[in-house]
Amino acid sequence: MKILIVDDSQLVKKLLLKVIKDYLPDVLVFLANNGEEGFQIYQEEKPDYVLTDLLMPKMNGQELLRLIKDSEYKAKVIVMSADIQKSTREEIEAMDVIAFINKPLNNEKAAYLIDLLKGEYHA
């Protein structure tokens, strides 16, 4: 399985990488710093899952999500963001994401993320 993590925070990427590798050690993980890099990697690697932040430089998560869904409407995207405005959440959920997880990541949210990934991983 391949997972793409798109976030401008090095700390968040390191944390997600550790959580994923602790529970799914055989997963191949790609990292991107913004939506532009993320979409380029998405096109090249066709990951099974994309974990993306919303607030990033160059190209934000909403724009990335639109591009991904335009190229592959069945793409599995999980949004992780500190932006918890109701309108933002509704806009994102209308784009058929698997989940919207509010930052910061804690043990409960990390367990939920792993459950989402394992559900498809063991299918």
Q: What is the pTM of this model?
A: 0.92
CATH number for the domain spanning 17: value is 3.40.50.2300
Q: In terms of Cα–Cα distance, which of 1, 19, 71 is closest to 42?
A: 71
pLDDT digits (tens, 9 = 90+) for 68-93: 999 998 999 999 988 778 888 888 88
Give the domain extent around 53.
2-121
pLDDT in tens, 9-58: 999 999 999 999 999 999 999 999 999 999 999 999 999 999 999 999 99
Q: Which amino acid is at 107?
A: N
Tally the domains of the chain: 1
Q: Find the angle CA(36)-CA(38)-CA(41) to the nearest 5 degrees.
A: 110
Round to whole Å and give the CA distance between 47 and 54.
Answer: 19
